[in-house]
Structure 1
Amino acid sequence: TLLQVDPRKRPTIHTLVENIEDLAIGNDIGLNEPLTFLFNTNETTSSTNPTTSAPAGNPSAASARAPVAGNNPSSNAGVSSYIPSSIKGLNTSGKSWMKSIIDTSSKVINEGVQQVKQTLATNVPTNFTAGTSSTAGGHHHHHFEVDLSYITSKVIVMATPRDNPSELSGRQSAELIRDLLDTKHPQSYMLFSLDQHNRGHQSYRKELFHNRVIDLPLCDEKYSPRLVDLLCFCHNISSFLLESSSNTAVLHCSDGRNQIAYGTCALIAYHGIFQQVDHIVRYYESRRCAHPFLTLSQKRYIQYLCDLSCGIIEKPHFNELILKTINLSPVPLFNRERNGCRPFVDVFNQDHKKIFSTYQEPNKLRVFCATDGVCLIPLNIPFNGDLTIHVSHAPVGLSLQAHDGGIRICELTINSNFCTLNHSELSYSRYELDGIDQTEKYPPSFRLTLDTISSKKISTTD
């Protein structure tokens, strides 16, 4: 396509860059790494060759494969023993199956199951129509939707199958999915259920899939993300895929949307395929043909995995931090006069339990005006792990008992490991915060800044 006389018919530079990125991924070439095949075998490139030496803080360096951790870790201490090594080991060997990320999604599924119509060439959900009961005009047809997409040749996502799809309109048949997987991936697939099973009973019998089902629940967009759960999720699925080159992971959640998108995008980030979460989301959308509807906090956690696996940030430190202050700047305009706000902060731990609040009766809370320039809210909360922060405005007349009825200014979830030893401040624009609806209440340059310090530094000073 470059050999066009008319320059207007040639591809744009953006198209060329995307094609180069695709070729690099397909051939397992890092665009930020040296082209080692250009060197003679007797030449020394130890200063840049990641297989011979690597910076101490680079979590992408090669190392031995770590053991599989449990599905429900109870503390960061249990994870610290395998997170760095799993990132380093799987980031290299994992690309052997992730490098086919662009090639085979449109080539699978047509053989074996005659009832399934092949439309995966464009990643459109496949519809299956079967004639069952008769009517006056002939046969009445039930429409069973097969909502299944190949994100890579080894990672499949779909909505949770049902034993009795005829009872639930629009849900797909577990037997149909089983037949399809048995045909395309015999004895080599594993279903990973991301559903939270506190809703009652399972939607299908595990024995229907030859008991090749593992419960690996992830919180959906209604709950705050947890870094430990996300890392264990990526580690367990990667370990299964690396056991055999023929293994295929099938991820499913109830609605086939947020949880599988969150888990799959995190898995791609875990292996350092892309450096930016937005690139991962764009790739996922092109394969799934559906928007993942990730929260901004979920995207923040995926970006952390990108930074970690690509060696952009330090390895997890698992140190306790003190969240000293929250700064809102410039002052958001939430009162009736639209010239300030009366903010308070609720803080929740990784178990979604409220552990701290600055709320008082509204007449005791300070009113910040636009002329103040910044809302400075002192907290001094120790934390280690995930922390969810809700910043709200207390309107006049809000009682102490009903303070949950405050007007939400913004919210976010962070992890203590987001703050590195060299960067103790976290700052986010309004486009990186959840819970923001009324944009006219926020100055264009609005930011939320978290100021932290290591507990060790405080104890040393004391």
Structure 2
Amino acid sequence: MSDLLKSAYEYFSGPTNGQSDNSFVGQVVEISNVKLRIKKVIAEGGFAVVFVAQDIATGKDYALKRLLAADEEAKNNIIQEINVLKKLSGHPNIIQYLSASFIDKAQTTHGQSEFLLVTELCTGGSLMEILQSRTSPFDPETITKIFYQAAKALAHMHSQTPAITHRDLKIENLLIGKDCTIKLCDFGSSTTEIYRPDISWSANQHSSLEENMARFTTPMYRAPEMVDTWNNYFIGPPVDIWALGCILYTFCYLKHPFEDSAKLRIINANYNLPPDPKYSCFHDIIRGCLRVNPEQRLTVSGVLEQLAAIAESNGYNLKAPLGLFSSLKGGAGSFLKNLKDTSTKVMATMQQSIARTDLDVNYITSRIIVMPYPSEGLESAYRTNHIEDVRLFLDSRHPNLKYSVYNVSGKSYHSKFGQARVVDCSFAYPEQFKAPLLNSLYQLCEDVYEYLAGDSRNVVVIHCTDGKATSATMVCGLLIYAGLFEVPEDALQMFAVKRCPPNMRPSELRYLYYLADIVKNPSIQPHYKPITLVTVQMQPVPLFTKIRDGCRPYVEVYSENRCLLSTLQEYEKMRLFNIAEGKVLLPINVTLCGDVCVVLYHARNILGGVMSQGKATGIKICQIQFHTGFIAEEETCLRFNKSELDELSEGQDHYQDRFTVSLNVFVSDVERKPSQPPPWLTDQTRRVADTVFGTKIEQDETVDNFVSK
């Protein structure tokens, strides 16, 4: 067994006697204000050692990887590895980063820079260990499920901007999470660089590049363009596809297609597919991955499509869990005994499971979960997150109904989650409103916080339709309410990293700023002085007619769930504004207080349509939502540029440069007492940010990464 495989095996079965003497064992280190006692070595290699480290305060075990950098290049490589892992964390098939610290060489006794990388400890075992113990391959269904998850992890890497290439994809780097999910690890070779050798390159350039490839890759998995750069193929993400082909071949036949790492066989893709019909369904994928020309290889999307087709034709459920891997072991044996793995990098074996296979579920913190609307019935055929899968996931991760679901989708349901607590948040979103009403946003944040504070085991699940903008508004509002963030953009950055860019509407961001003003110290609270909207002006004239020379506008004004004004009339009675007029000016003269939504439409006449018989139907030009309590008494005009408007129509030809909407307003000098006191006046909650986290180390790492200094 090679040293690398030995260390990988020992990660899960315990260290050798020699390893237990490592001088680092027994020491106490402090990372992000958390003290960790080093218990034992679990993997060791030339550049790093991995330990079990126990939080002294809680007794919880983590994995701690200690990396030493002798020079600036090694230091930069370690920093890149950590940054890649941080960026990719959160995907269900990628290992999860928790924390890291750096010690400058001037402060160490060994004269080298030192990095300590912390993740949650993985106890699920290694895929390598299972394959080593088998005398026969997995059945096709198991191979399909395992390989599908590996490909999903790679798809997440390749979908980044710019794409991240793993460069050292191999079976040794596929681990098994606690929920029997495949996890991709070891990003020490990952890069966003693409190399493009050409006929102008010198021999030294080719030699240097090949040496670089040899440093960061494993011989038997290297693609032809890495082994021989004189073919002048570009070197980028397709090298991972070649490695996928090698992995799939090995799954099927318990031997590597290039186990001798012979250069000539690799650059000519000289391998043999055994005639066993049992695995013939995978032959097209293997051939598509193992093409000499990287431009002719399958993409990772193509691999996933073919796997989905195999699953559909054979009735495999890709969403079904893999089951206990102990039951998949096929007896004694080691098909890998002849492999010549010359890699010197130790395998990173740290892990935190985040979600079941194929579930679109993300933990923003260990106590805040975000997902899209759970599907059932026919819609489950084309949408992820079937309700039964979601319930099984939540019940297994958070038993005894220690979770509360907050539905901000606007679609009500009652029985989807059985006896679990479900809060229908539709009251916060009257028709036309894109951001939640301010009072409602505050009340929801208060309710979520109190639920989390009530039991340290409680978690909350927040979902809208797609798990993006509306969910992000709720989550970011909660984090601001809890006192973690003062600036909404910091909270949004955290959401974007932990889940996805939220594509938040301007009004949603505006309301997060309102909330931040209310909860900060000293608090800036809205007044209740009525304002009169006198006129609305659009400048230049938006272009919504068929020939794009003007518009026929009308306006609707909403105060919470009431429409206070609509200028919609019979089509011919509404004025057409031409582009030459320069602006649109509409009188409003409506007085209101609190949450306001102004919607502007272009009227068009469609006979026989939904609104016919000479009446108009509208195309939305834009809309604006705001709270009157944050308009200063001396203010007379509110101006909104394009970036501050909601619901802009798609296309580049509707709005001219510097398009703005202006509201002429008059603010009363007399307060109108609300019927109910606003919730921030009655809230007695003593808020602390650690309520939204499971551990102190998680909180400190979040503050370090996302809170503006």
- Aligned residue in 1 for 2:643: 431
* Residues 366 and 196 of structure 1, relative CA distance in 2, 3 Å threshold: closer
- Aligned residue in 2 for 1:306: 516
**In structure 2, C-alpha distance between the alignment counterparts of 1:197 and 1:332, rounded to whole Å:** 31
- Aligned residue in 1 for 2:543: 333
Aligned-partner residue type, residue 319 of structure 2: H
**In structure 2, C-alpha distance between the alignment counterparts of 1:229 and 1:390, rounded to whole Å:** 21
**In structure 1, C-alpha distance between the alignment counterparts of 2:511 and 2:579, rounded to whole Å:** 32
SS in structure 2 of the partner of residue 263 of structure 1: helix
Q: Does 1:151 align with 2:352?
A: no
1:388 to 565, 585, 597: 597
**In structure 1, C-alpha distance between the alignment counterparts of 2:547 and 2:643, rounded to whole Å:** 25
- Aligned residue in 1 for 2:238: none
Instruction: Give the Å deviation of 1:447.
Output: 0.8
Instruction: Give the Å deviation of 1:412.
Output: 2.4
- Aligned residue in 2 for 1:268: 479
Instruction: Give the Å deviation of 1:322.
Output: 1.5
What are the Cα deviations for residues 215-243 of structure 1, in whole angstroms up to 9, with x where unaligned?
Answer: 44464998533222222111111122233
Aligned-partner residue type, residue 622 of structure 2: C
What are the Cα deviations for residues 142-162 of structure 1, in whole angstroms up to 9, with x where unaligned?
Answer: 524333211012212234557
**In structure 1, C-alpha distance between the alignment counterparts of 2:523 and 2:183, rounded to whole Å:** 41
Identity %: 26
**In structure 2, C-alpha distance between the alignment counterparts of 1:146 and 1:243, rounded to whole Å:** 28
Instruction: Give the Å deviation of 1:276.
Output: 4.9
SS in structure 2 of the partner of residue 389 of structure 1: strand
Q: Which has the higher contact order (CA 8 A, sep 6+)?
A: 1
Instruction: Give the Å deviation of 1:445.
Output: 0.9
Aligned-partner residue type, residue 534 of structure 2: K
CA contact (8 A) 2:528 2:671 kept: no
SS in structure 2 of the partner of residue 241 of structure 1: helix
* Residues 452 and 438 of structure 1, relative CA distance in 2, 3 Å threshold: same
- Range with greater deviation from structure 2 (231-240 or 341-350): 341-350
What are the Cα deviations for residues 271-315 of structure 1, in whole angstroms up to 9, with x where unaligned?
Answer: 454455444333212111x34343333333233323444569831
**In structure 1, C-alpha distance between the alignment counterparts of 2:123 and 2:555, rounded to whole Å:** 54
Aligned-partner residue type, residue 143 of structure 1: K
* Residues 143 and 276 of structure 1, relative CA distance in 2, 3 Å threshold: same
What are the Cα deviations for residues 2-55 of structure 1, in whole angstroms up to 9, with x where unaligned?
Answer: x9499x99999xx9xx99xxxxxx9xxxxxxxxxxxxxxxxxxxxxxxxxxxxx
* Residues 402 and 283 of structure 1, relative CA distance in 2, 3 Å threshold: farther
**In structure 2, C-alpha distance between the alignment counterparts of 1:262 and 1:416, rounded to whole Å:** 20
- Range with greater deviation from structure 2 (293-302 or 211-220): 211-220
**In structure 2, C-alpha distance between the alignment counterparts of 1:253 and 1:174, rounded to whole Å:** 14
* Residues 215 and 371 of structure 1, relative CA distance in 2, 3 Å threshold: closer
TM-score normalized by structure 2? 0.41
SS in structure 1 of the partner of residue 653 of structure 2: helix
* Residues 305 and 213 of structure 1, relative CA distance in 2, 3 Å threshold: same
**In structure 2, C-alpha distance between the alignment counterparts of 1:404 and 1:110, rounded to whole Å:** 65
Instruction: Give the Å deviation of 1:330.
Output: 2.5
Larger-Rg structure: 2
CA contact (8 A) 1:219 1:259 kept: no
CA contact (8 A) 1:347 1:356 kept: yes
CA contact (8 A) 2:557 2:599 kept: yes
* Residues 284 and 304 of structure 1, relative CA distance in 2, 3 Å threshold: same
CA contact (8 A) 1:163 1:203 kept: no
CA contact (8 A) 2:370 2:467 kept: yes
1:324 to 524, 534, 552: 534
* Residues 176 and 364 of structure 1, relative CA distance in 2, 3 Å threshold: closer
- Aligned residue in 2 for 1:33: none
**In structure 2, C-alpha distance between the alignment counterparts of 1:355 and 1:366, rounded to whole Å:** 21
Instruction: Give the Å deviation of 1:350.
Output: 1.7
RMSD: 4.9
* Residues 166 and 332 of structure 1, relative CA distance in 2, 3 Å threshold: closer
**In structure 2, C-alpha distance between the alignment counterparts of 1:319 and 1:412, rounded to whole Å:** 20
TM-score normalized by structure 1? 0.60
For 1:25-44, what aligned pairs fall within 5 Å after superposition?
A: none
- Range with greater deviation from structure 2 (220-229 or 314-323): 220-229
CA contact (8 A) 1:360 1:400 kept: no
**In structure 2, C-alpha distance between the alignment counterparts of 1:314 and 1:172, rounded to whole Å:** 41
- Aligned residue in 1 for 2:568: 359
SS in structure 1 of the partner of residue 472 of structure 2: helix
What are the Cα deviations for residues 290-345 of structure 1, in whole angstroms up to 9, with x where unaligned?
Answer: 34343333333233323444569831223322212212122323345644433221
Instruction: Give the Å deviation of 1:397.
Output: 8.2
Aligned-partner residue type, residue 384 of structure 1: C
**In structure 1, C-alpha distance between the alignment counterparts of 2:185 and 2:477, rounded to whole Å:** 24
Instruction: Give the Å deviation of 1:415.
Output: 2.4
* Residues 386 and 174 of structure 1, relative CA distance in 2, 3 Å threshold: same
**In structure 1, C-alpha distance between the alignment counterparts of 2:665 and 2:516, rounded to whole Å:** 23
1:377 to 586, 606, 609: 586
For 1:94-173, what aligned pairs fall within 5 Å after superposition?
A: 107=120, 114-117=178-181, 140-141=316-317, 143-144=319-320, 145-159=358-372, 171-172=384-385
- Aligned residue in 1 for 2:662: 449
CA contact (8 A) 2:407 2:422 kept: no
* Residues 200 and 180 of structure 1, relative CA distance in 2, 3 Å threshold: closer
Per residue, is there more helix in 1 or in 2? 2
**In structure 2, C-alpha distance between the alignment counterparts of 1:339 and 1:138, rounded to whole Å:** 57
- Aligned residue in 2 for 1:349: 559
CA contact (8 A) 1:331 1:373 kept: yes
2:498 to 287, 290, 293: 287
CA contact (8 A) 2:362 2:498 kept: yes
SS in structure 2 of the partner of residue 345 of structure 1: strand
Instruction: Give the Å deviation of 1:187.
Output: 5.7
Instruction: Give the Å deviation of 1:379.
Output: 0.7
CA contact (8 A) 2:635 2:667 kept: no
**In structure 2, C-alpha distance between the alignment counterparts of 1:280 and 1:451, rounded to whole Å:** 33
* Residues 301 and 220 of structure 1, relative CA distance in 2, 3 Å threshold: same
**In structure 2, C-alpha distance between the alignment counterparts of 1:117 and 1:11, rounded to whole Å:** 27
1:419 to 613, 631, 642: 631
CA contact (8 A) 1:345 1:389 kept: yes
SS in structure 2 of the partner of residue 304 of structure 1: helix
- Aligned residue in 1 for 2:461: 250
CA contact (8 A) 2:635 2:665 kept: no
CA contact (8 A) 1:110 1:116 kept: no
CA contact (8 A) 2:569 2:616 kept: no
What are the Cα deviations for residues 186-230 of structure 1, in whole angstroms up to 9, with x where unaligned?
Answer: 568322231568656532312xxxx44444446499853322222
